[in-house]
Structure 1
Amino acid sequence: ALLALIGVLAALTPGVPEIELDPELILVAFLPPLLYADAFQTSWIDFKRWLRPISMLAIGLVLTTIVTVGLAAHELLPQMSVASCLLLGAVLSPTDTVAVQAVIERLHVPRRITAILGGESLVNDATGLVGVQVGIAVVLHGSFDPAIAGLSFARVTGLGVLSGLVIGIVFARLNLWFREVRTLFTLSLLSPYVAYAVADMLGGSGVLAVVVAGFVVAWRIHSLDGDTRFELYSSWDKLTFLLNGLCFLLVGFSAPLALEARPEWLIAGLLITLVVVVTRIGWCVPGAYLPLLFSPRLRKREGGYPPAKGVVVVSWAGVRGVVSLAAALALPLSLPDGTPFPGRAEIVACTLVVVLTTLLVQGLTLQPLIEWLGIRGEEDSAAEVRAAREALLSAGISRLDAYCSETSCPLSVHHWRELMADELKTLEDKDEAARKAARSRLDVSQDVRREVVEAQRRALLTLRDGGRINDRTYVGLLLELDRAHLATASSPA
């Protein structure tokens, strides 16, 4: 949100050159890798557990938003056709929770909220843009037939899912054949673009194909070795940070488009923003409780009724962003007969107002709202991590004991086993004194290993400065020491 504000201020500053926002650049160049990364990092277990609220938001709320925004737009802008008004609703239906996720992760809110918002944003980009595709087809043909629109929606969705499934399986198999990190990163970067292109070529949803491909490849990521997996995640983290930042800046730089719009369009955009926000609140509050009220099975699967504070956060987190703006700007300029696309200027103006207003108002007030509500992360996440660590350490110790009973192990291996045993004691030993003693031994061991690595770095620098090794050798060995330092910092073993 702050980057969008910076973009607005920069765009309105006299003397700053005008930057033209190319919607194809966002929809084709930026969106596939961002969606792929989101799918890649989404917890499939959490996604399945909270599939009901995610589906209600990503499908039910999308359809409801299309209708409510369409009706409101037809009242506020009567010169627009019903089809164009519904198309505006489809354009405004996807949320963009990048700004929201940054706040949520920083404040460590409960996992239920992060999973629902992340899953919603991932899926409603696809459902919303499929709605845009269908809406454009209706406007181009000049008539609306619910049966034909439904069949078109099913065809676009089905081809998107099928394309993503096939491409995901292909690239998951390719990951088994290659081991070099740069090659694997190149393949992972190609995967979303190939999925998008194939689905688009077949007439399906490219966005949905990217999401499905990301899920499939992520499910098989364990087949890679640890170093490669670490490098891939690190590279993707940097790439998504850069692309998200550029997207928000581009949204801000599009602000001058609002100056070209008619005042009545801008006023309509503000009122439609209110409709978008109220629609989400009116959907989220009953949708969070009514299905659970009538289904004990759902209550059990989702861990009971959601806390009211969490529902408030989800209701307020409906920020619109670059996906909606790019979808509006990517609308055709004219119909097949050469006449201007009906309502395009109004759709672009209203979308720009809604995007900037939700980003700057909801995006910047979400953190104060969460802090005011006093929402904090749940203990179950920490307990889950603790239990998993105990299981990993127990498995490691058992394997070491079995190995050393068959083979003579050096002292370093026995020392490793002692460190793992100490870490296990800090987690499960009921004796407070024993836990403190084990923690103290681990701290000393880590401090010593850090000092050793730092001494090796200084010695390596002396060798390079003295001309005894070249820069290439220096960098290679320095990276080895850096990896050793990371291992020391993350684990006592």
Structure 2
Amino acid sequence: MDAEIFYVLVGAVAVAAIARWRGWPSPLLVTVVALAASFLPFVPELEIDGHVLLAVVLPPLLYSAALDVSFVSFTKALPQIRRLGIGLVLVTAVAVGLIAYLIMPSLTLPGALLLGAIVAPPDAVSAAAIGRKLGLPRRVMNVLSGESLINDATSLTLYRVFAAILAGATLSVWDGIWQFIVAVVVGVAVGLVFGIGLHQLRMRLPDPVVNGTFGLLAPFGAYAIAEHLLGSGVLAVVAMGLFVGYNSPQTSYTTRQQEKPLWQSMDFLLEAFVFAYIGLQLPRVLTELGEGEAGTVLLLSVGVLVTVLVVRPMFVFPASSWGKMWQRAALRRWERAEASGRLEQWQQRSTERPGRFRPPLTREELQAEHSKTHLSWRDNAVISWAGMRGVVTIAIAVAASDLAGLSSASAHAIVVVAFVVTVGTLLLQGLTLPALIRALGVVDASEAQEDQREIAEVRSRTREVGKAYLRKKRVAWAAERGEDRLPAFDAFAQRLVRVETDAEGSRREDMRPTYDEFSTMSRGWLAVRRRIVLEERDAGKLNEEVMRELIDEMDAEELTLDAKGALRPTPSSP
């Protein structure tokens, strides 16, 4: 088994590498190649326990995705994310359950609803890969990414409820709701505890290798402990990732530079293996169908596949209209508060009590916030068709084979349906989604222009704050070293801010700043600029994706500073 997994890993990584080289969506190519290779006699068969697959693959993939998600954008798009990540999963589970029960009554209603919970959550890996390549607007990517972070938790909670009913437990609707509340509260609490602990470690430990190692281990620990406490391991990992990712700019640049390629490699490896596993298993699962049940199970598979394809757009468009109605209602409440004079008091309290996320203070700001998260019918069409299933559906289906109260025939039917739906959505939606995006023209060219405008404004402000920092240092320099060394300081400051000064600079060696002085002032210059960038982000004036671009530029400057210091000749010993 170890050798077989290694061979599959190598083959999957090779195919994914070709896809990246050619600019193709790697999940789709890996699945198609694995599906074709599964018919070859020498290709190994893999049998992996679903619980193991979930516990090993899901935590790192979720954590890495949460690190990359903008927390500010996530909170702004939370209404759409909540509707899709919770509401759509519930509706899909019920719709699939009813259709499955009508087609195959031997599943029983709890078993059919269990199947609905298994196939309900989409996986945004392939959709995100396509969206990034084609330049989907950030508002669409935020919804798709955010949905994928919480829909697995909803699905797994439903799975627990229906599995308990199959085992003979008597649960009411309120019991199910209580289990969901416990899963959310415990999961988020465990995730925040792990996130705070990991962040404090990263702030206090200067070793990026050790930080990266703890970062690799933390998702597995958060997931396992949350599940043990009857919470949602998915939400624990997501909460930890969002917290650590949001506070990442406060850590050392070496930690960030070590972390980014580490998680990119981890994602690349795990995603390639998962989609290869999906493609390799489908033919084996189909061949194990008994002759008597083959027709019914295949009909069930097609019926469930059509249901998940149809339910998503039928939910997305009305839900979007519902959200827009609430936005209009919020604007009307704003206008009434403005007319009654209560708005000024609220604005005064907001300015006196500054927080990380300042709410809009004017009607124009509120309208601007709504426009940033507003989804057009074209956006909703893309979201409706970006419902490809992935690792969670397969892993839960395989794990369901061991459930008490589920017959072997029903368990095998669930596995077949899960594989057919996963591969079917990957091929049908994944292969046609790029054409749909191009046909609808869902690309926002103004977004890049807005990013450049924000970058220019923040750079201008950081430069002014940096100059103020250097002016304070200039006074301290003159007091400590004398007025005659000010020309040397001015020459150094000129190199930092790249503006002309009155001083000509000095050529004397004793007038130049030492390396330690140069390094200290340069790091201070970077620190004040980073602080301004974070303040702009926290005030809602700077997009988090743009903020990360600016932080990356400053990290590169600090890396250059350290590299120059490492190349300095060391004094020779006497």
Could you tell me the TM-score, scaled by structure 2's length?
0.70
User: In the TM superposition, what are the counterparts of 1:458-469 in structure 2 within 5 Å?
Assistant: none
Aligned to 2:161: 134
Q: Contact 1:335/1:341 (CA < 8 Å) preserved in 2?
A: no
Change (3 A) 1:110 1:33: same
2:398 corresponds, among 310, 320, 329, to 329
Q: Give the Cα–Cα distance (whole angstroms) in 2 for the partners of residues 79 and 420 of structure 1.
A: 83
Structure 1 position 115, deviation (Å): 0.4
Aligned to 1:391: 461
| Counterpart residue identity of residue 64, structure 2 | A
Structure 1 position 370, deviation (Å): 0.8
Q: Contact 2:313/2:385 (CA < 8 Å) preserved in 1?
A: yes
Q: Give the Cα–Cα distance (whole angstroms) in 1 for the partners of residues 133 and 374 of structure 2.
A: 25
Cα deviation code 1:366-421 (max 9, x no counterpart):
11111111221342344333433333334334434543454342745423321799
Aligned to 2:378: 309
1:259 aligns with 2:287: yes
- Higher deviation after alignment, 113-122 or 377-386: 377-386
Change (3 A) 1:400 1:109: farther
Q: Give the Cα–Cα distance (whole angstroms) in 2 for the partners of residues 259 and 419 of structure 1.
A: 73
Structure 1 position 309, deviation (Å): 1.1
Structure 1 position 245, deviation (Å): 1.6
1:415 corresponds, among 488, 492, 495, to 495
Q: Give the Cα–Cα distance (whole angstroms) in 2 for the partners of residues 487 and 382 of structure 1.
A: 29
Aligned to 1:425: none
Q: Give the Cα–Cα distance (whole angstroms) in 1 for the partners of residues 257 and 70 of structure 2.
A: 17
User: In the TM superposition, what are the counterparts of 1:101-120 in structure 2 within 5 Å?
Assistant: 101-120=128-147
1:4 aligns with 2:31: yes
Structure 1 position 58, deviation (Å): 0.4
Q: Contact 2:309/2:387 (CA < 8 Å) preserved in 1?
A: yes
Q: Contact 1:4/1:251 (CA < 8 Å) preserved in 2?
A: yes
Change (3 A) 1:486 1:178: closer
2:313 corresponds, among 278, 281, 293, to 281
Q: Give the Cα–Cα distance (whole angstroms) in 1 for the partners of residues 402 and 187 of structure 2.
A: 26
Cα deviation code 1:83-104 (max 9, x no counterpart):
0111111111111010111111
Q: Give the Cα–Cα distance (whole angstroms) in 1 for the partners of residues 162 and 375 of structure 2.
A: 35
| Counterpart residue identity of residue 349, structure 1 | V
Aligned to 1:88: 115
1:353 corresponds, among 417, 420, 425, to 420
Q: Give the Cα–Cα distance (whole angstroms) in 1 for the partners of residues 453 and 414 of structure 2.
A: 48
1:152 corresponds, among 169, 179, 187, to 179
User: In the TM superposition, what are the counterparts of 1:19-418 in structure 2 within 5 Å?
Assistant: 19-141=46-168, 143-256=170-283, 257-261=285-289, 262-296=294-328, 297=330, 300=367, 301-303=369-371, 305-335=374-404, 340=407, 343-377=410-444, 378-379=446-447, 380-404=450-474, 406-407=476-477, 408=486, 409=489, 411-418=491-498
| Counterpart residue identity of residue 260, structure 1 | E
| Counterpart residue identity of residue 50, structure 2 | P
| Counterpart residue identity of residue 383, structure 1 | R
Q: Contact 1:185/1:232 (CA < 8 Å) preserved in 2?
A: yes
Aligned to 2:567: none
Change (3 A) 1:484 1:176: closer
Q: Give the Cα–Cα distance (whole angstroms) in 2 for the partners of residues 13 and 410 of structure 1.
A: 72
Aligned residues: 428
1:15 corresponds, among 37, 42, 56, to 42
Cα deviation code 1:262-316 (max 9, x no counterpart):
2321222122111111110001011112331244227834327422211110111
Structure 1 position 231, deviation (Å): 1.5
Structure 1 position 172, deviation (Å): 2.0
Structure 1 position 144, deviation (Å): 4.5
| Counterpart residue identity of residue 41, structure 2 | P
Cα deviation code 1:205-255 (max 9, x no counterpart):
211111112122223323311122122122112211221121111111112
Structure 1 position 187, deviation (Å): 1.0
Q: Give the Cα–Cα distance (whole angstroms) in 2 for the partners of residues 60 and 6 of structure 1.
A: 35
Cα deviation code 1:1-40 (max 9, x no counterpart):
1111111111122321222243233211111011111111
Change (3 A) 1:305 1:180: closer
Cα deviation code 1:295-351 (max 9, x no counterpart):
422783432742221111011101111111111101142527xx7467211111111
Q: Give the Cα–Cα distance (whole angstroms) in 1 for the partners of residues 454 and 404 of structure 2.
A: 56
Q: Give the Cα–Cα distance (whole angstroms) in 2 for the partners of residues 269 and 420 of structure 1.
A: 72
The 3-state SS of whatever aligns with 2:219 is: helix
Q: Contact 1:96/1:318 (CA < 8 Å) preserved in 2?
A: yes
Q: Give the Cα–Cα distance (whole angstroms) in 2 for the partners of residues 17 and 47 of structure 1.
A: 41
Q: Give the Cα–Cα distance (whole angstroms) in 2 for the partners of residues 170 and 375 of structure 1.
A: 41
Change (3 A) 1:159 1:12: same
Cα deviation code 1:166-216 (max 9, x no counterpart):
222222222233110110001111111111111122122211111112122
Change (3 A) 1:192 1:294: closer
The root-mean-square deviation of aligned C-alpha atoms, in Å, is: 2.7
Structure 1 position 165, deviation (Å): 2.1
Q: Contact 1:81/1:342 (CA < 8 Å) preserved in 2?
A: no
Q: Give the Cα–Cα distance (whole angstroms) in 1 for the partners of residues 96 and 277 of structure 2.
A: 25
Change (3 A) 1:341 1:142: farther
Sequence identity, in percent?
A: 32
Structure 1 position 149, deviation (Å): 2.2
Q: Give the Cα–Cα distance (whole angstroms) in 2 for the partners of residues 417 and 114 of structure 1.
A: 36
Q: Give the Cα–Cα distance (whole angstroms) in 1 for the partners of residues 153 and 246 of structure 2.
A: 20
Structure 1 residue runs of 5 or longer lacking an equivalent are: 422-479, 489-493
